[in-house]
Structures are given as C-alpha cells and as structure tokens.
Chains A and B, each alone.
Chain A
C-alpha cells in the first residue's frame, strides 16, 4: 500500500524563523507536487518537481526532491504570518493511472 507521510503534522513557529517540512513516500515516483490549502478553501499549486535533484523556489518557500531517498522537502525561510496554512505533498503514480496520493498534511501556524 502506498503511503505518503509528512512530518511534522503540526508546526507552530515564530515569524522570522526557518523550518523544513518533510514528505516521505513508499513507492517509486518521479513526480511530486506541493499544494497549499487555506481553511475552507481548495488547493493552490505551489511546486511541481519532476526529477531527482529538482529544486524550486518561490518567495520564502523552496522545495526539493530526492527520488532515491523517496523524500521531498519544503523549506520555509524567514516565515511570515501569511504563510499560515496547511501544506500537502502529493505523489503522482507512474503506473498509468495518473492518480495523485496526498500526504497527511502539515498545518503551519506562524505567530506574529
């Protein structure tokens, strides 16, 4: 059974601090997606990672992918309150079903 686990599940941090969210998955895949969800809202696409070693950055967020370790990270630099949300990673299956399997989610709260 495919598992996609995120760590931590809940993160409370002060503004200005750095932190990393981890996404581990249990199957072979070369496509990993990060999404943001605000309360009561749908998903906003953040990053698309499609190869081993891929690194992408947007503002205070940076995502990376290590397909050999089956690990993706989402690094937050100098957090601000507006980053408070739930972050999900999703693994794209390569078997032809085109399914995404979502991680457990990380609820981030940035304290002013």
Chain B
C-alpha cells in the first residue's frame, strides 16, 4: 500500500531557530499534501494544503511566514517552522493525496508524525 515517510520523528530545538520537517510519498506521486498540527489530547487541525509547483494554501489563522511550506516535487513536501518558540511545540503530521485518484477510495495516507519541542 501507499507509504508516506515523515522525517524527523522527533526534534528538539532552541527558541529562535528554524526546523524543517520532510514528508515524502515513497511509492506514489502526490499532487497534494496536507499538513496538520495536533496538541496533546486534541484533534488534528489542518494548517495548510500543499500543491506541487504552486504556493501552499493556508487555513485561517495560520501564519504563512511562520510555517513555510514547499512542495518542490510530486513526492516531497517540506514544512519549515521559522524562528520557533515554545508555543510552536506540537505534533505535526502530513498526509498525501495520490495523484491517480485512488485517494477517494482508500483515503489519504498519513506520515508517522514529528514531535517538535522548542526549548
């Protein structure tokens, strides 16, 4: 089945630094990838939709200059948390939509998530 690799799984960074999280579709092409944020014991909040070759679409209230998204190829999207602060600490999860249309039938595949801790 479709596999999405997310890296790193855990990262600790100092306040003020930037962190890059990668999301790769390993055996399929993904025109669209999604980035979610999850606080402890809460639901997944959609942050942005990443489309290959174009600018990401951010959800209301998400700072685009804080969370930079790049979808440079059909298999890779990256989320960069810039000038990270402790309040950015969270669990970040990506998901990928298969370009061939099987996504509706099988649902999107989710990455394993990245636990970001800003100290």
Contacts and interface: CB of A to CB of B under 8 A. Distances in A.
A42 B111 CA distance: 7
Mostly, the B contact residues are strand
A45 interface: yes
A44 to B, nearest CB: 8
B27 to A, nearest CB: 16
Given A42-B93, A97-B49, A31 B111 contact: no
Nearest to A97: B49
Interface in A34-76: 35, 40-43, 45, 48, 50
Contacts of A99: 34, 46, 49
Interface residues of B, number: 27
B78 to A, nearest CB: 18
B69 to A, nearest CB: 15
Contacts of B103: 98
Interface string B35-55: 010000111111001000000
A42 B5 CA distance: 11
A105 B43 CA distance: 6
Interface string B76-119: 00000000000000000101010000011111111111010000
22 contacts: A40-B115, A42-B6, A42-B93, A42-B110, A42-B112, A42-B113, A45-B109, A48-B107, A98-B32, A98-B49, A98-B97, A98-B103, A99-B46, A100-B108, A101-B46, A102-B36, A102-B45, A102-B46, A103-B43, A104-B43, A105-B43, A107-B41
Closest 8 CB pairs of A and B: A42-B113, A43-B110, A102-B44, A42-B112, A105-B43, A33-B107, A102-B43, A48-B107
